[in-house]
Structure 1
Amino acid sequence: MAPQKVFDSADAYTTSITTLLPAHALMREIAIASLVAQTPERGTLGVVGCGPGDELVALAAAFPGWDIIAFEPAEAMARTATERLRVEGLAAQVRVIPRALRPADAPDWDAAICLMVTHFIAPGSARRDFWKTWARHLRPGAPWVLSEIVATTPKEREAWVRWARQQGASEVELKRLDARLAGDGFYVLPEHDTLLMAEQAGLLAPCTLLQVLGVRMWSGTRG
């Protein structure tokens, strides 16, 4: 379930993501607000795909009484995130595990978050297994938030690329973005397929938190 290599380094991710991903900062804020509203003062938060660590620093501030466990299979991202946490004095609260989430990993999370990861996982059994594994790690009734890129029409892809150009993305980045949105680099599925996998994994009543261009973010609870 390791993601494809889209960014050459953690630095490339940091400099490019705000010009390529609509509502990047807003997505994180909404996700955190949704989880904070549904969780107690203490617990364990599972994070799948933490990137270079910005998300973890924000989560640590929002959940000061929580233990945070993050899984990041991209080695460069995991190293950068670990160093960022050390510098911020958060190493005791937040642990980065440099690999993908596995079924045998310690379960019983009190909440979970996964932002912009699952469209890197091939459809079929690999994607279904991810949802089942993720759900298995949540306690019954625990909340979750997940976002991904869904299948887009040519007009939606054109609008996304046009937006990225206005944000300052390079022509090389724009060409790659268009190809990935069309399925050459991202495994994009219709929204209905994702919601069906969530239901089959035992996750109840997903609701849409954010919808912008081809990005969707949902929240729900484990049954």
Structure 2
Amino acid sequence: MKEKQKHLTMKELPVTERPYEKCEKNGAGMLSDAELLAIVIKTGTRGDKVMDLAVQLLNLNPSCQGLEGIMSLDIQDFQKIRGIGRVKAVQLAAVCELSRRMTRIRFRRDYVFETPQSIADYYMAYMCHLEHEEVHVMMLDARQHMISECLLTKGTVNASLIAPREIFIHALKANAVGIILVHNHPSGDDTPSREDLAATEKVRCAGDLIGIRLLDHIIIGSGHFTSLCGSWHH
């Protein structure tokens, strides 16, 4: 049987293998996922070395391991690992959120959201592994570039309680021409519920009254999605 790999502390590692030194010498791109995480969390505990903690983090999400799995975790999830306290959990959550925002910068600047697939591509990696439900609204200009986006609700969401008033307050502030609703089903099944369909119609009608079109409502499942408005173009 192959012996399980043992990880050393930063000081116990040879200088050429220490994440800090490797990053300085060769650049962050040469580090493994575990080494990058080790730099973020900095120190371990008496019983858990820093590289061990990094590997535990990469295996923390049972439904999706690795960095992709970490992206869908929150502060409380990180604290389930012995050696990850409040401060480290907050730091990890901040790094994950920065990563999401930086990834989306390119989309905001250059991407044209003109098909259901283009919307799903933007949200899928983040939302498909969430264990709670979130509802997002995207605000678009006349060329269907994103102006801004916001998280409307998080947790257990009853789609019938989504308030058009709150949605269009955001849309009017952004001077949006159109909006797109996006939410996930933690079960992984992207089949729309009756509440999803009713909420979509309610928001669509409200948008027609004030001149801001609901372009689509996308439901994200486990690796797939449903568009409630079908194919559309500007």
Q: How does the TM-score come out when normalised to structure 1?
A: 0.30
Instruction: Considering Cα pairs closer than 8 Å and 6+ residues apart, tell me whether 1 or 2 has the greater RCO.
Output: 1
Structure number with larger C-alpha Rg: 2
Q: Which structure features the higher share of strand residues? A: 1
